[in-house]
Amino acid sequence: MANEFPQVMTIGGTDSDGSAGVQADLHSFFMRGVYGATILTAAVAGNSYGIQDSMVMPLPFIDAQFKSLAADLHIRAAKTGMLADRALVQNIIKNWQQYDFGALVVDPVIITKHGAMLLEQDAYDAVKNELIPLATVVTPNHYEAEHLTGMKLDTDAQTEAAAHQLQDSGAKNIVLKGAHDDPTQPTVRDFVLLENGKSFWLSEPYHATDRVNGTGDTLSAVITAEIGKGNSVEEAIRIAKRFTNQAIGHPIAVGHQYGPINHWANKIVYPQF
């Protein structure tokens, strides 16, 4: 179709307060000028205090969503968020391999930015051994990278070695996100290893705020959006890093405790028709 609008997709759960999950992804897609579709895998009842309840979508319903989008939309890139159990991870993989949705960005969502485990062992194993090897880009945080590689990441050399190990597992491009829990450090540094062998560090100012819900979702969503528009993986990662840091650095007052980042701190990118 001539002048087709760029279309991307998020595969994940809703977050009822809008701070994370597919809501954060859709905020990001809108701000970066792409059309966002969703594969809903779970629904979460939660707010800035935490999660109160959740439910996983039936697998046949997830199959139906994939079939519907594949029959009509031209998805150029997609991302995954939190996938709650092994059966769900394997269902996503089955559908991903059945259809053509372009590049795959995997936000592992297995350990929080503070080090708490989110998945049972069998679900973790499925993400590590079956989903990540399919990734065009994978975006583990500091603790996820330690767990996935079995390495302590206390030095730059260790971090770089871990990224190479993740690439050896099958993922093409690695964004290894630095720890965000050391206020004595003036910057947050991420290490990037590209498929072509190029590597570099990205640094942005550290912001002392508890309004960081949706940070990982947003980074991976912006990468997805930029790839969907035809940008290179490197440019997509650089844009996503700047966008996310800007959103963290200009907090908004939503909720009473751990609130969302501010997507509107960034300039809206209007698509060209």
**pLDDT tens readout for residues 14-38:** 999 888 999 999 999 999 999 999 9
Does residue 237 belong to any structural domain of this protein? Answer: yes
Tens-digit pLDDT profile for residues 77-98: 999 999 999 999 999 999 999 9
Does residue 94 belong to any structural domain of this protein? Answer: yes
- Average pLDDT estimate for 154-172: 97
pLDDT of 249 above 60: yes
Tens-digit pLDDT profile for residues 107-120: 999 987 767 788 88
Amino acid at 1: M
pLDDT of 272 above 70: no
Does residue 1 belong to any structural domain of this protein? Answer: no
Residues 6+ apart with CB under 8 A from 61: none
Tens-digit pLDDT profile for residues 210-220: 888 889 999 99
Whole-number Å distance between alpha carbons of 163 and 250: 30
Q: What is the pLDDT of residue 25?
A: 98
Does residue 2 belong to any structural domain of this protein? Answer: no
Does residue 15 belong to any structural domain of this protein? Answer: yes
pLDDT of 1 above 60: no
Does residue 271 belong to any structural domain of this protein? Answer: no
Tally of helices (H runs) and strands (E runs) in the chain: 8, 9
Q: What is the pLDDT of residue 269?
A: 85
Q: What is the pLDDT of residue 114?
A: 67
Q: How confident is the model at residue 179 (pLDDT cuts 50, 70, 90)?
A: confident
Task: Look up the domain containing 182 and give its range.
Answer: 7-265
Whole-number Å distance between alpha carbons of 192 and 168: 14
Does residue 73 belong to any structural domain of this protein? Answer: yes
Does residue 228 belong to any structural domain of this protein? Answer: yes
Q: What is the pLDDT of residue 116?
A: 76
Q: What is the pLDDT of residue 271?
A: 75
CATH number of the structural domain spanning residue 237: 3.40.1190.20
Number of structural domains the chain divides into: 1
Phi then psi dihedrals of residue 102, to 5 deg:
80, -145
Mean pLDDT of the chain: 93
Residues 6+ apart with CB under 8 A from 158: 151, 152
Query: What element of type H or E holds 121?
Result: helix 121-126
Tens-digit pLDDT profile for residues 183-229: 677 899 999 999 999 999 999 988 888 888 889 999 999 999 999 99
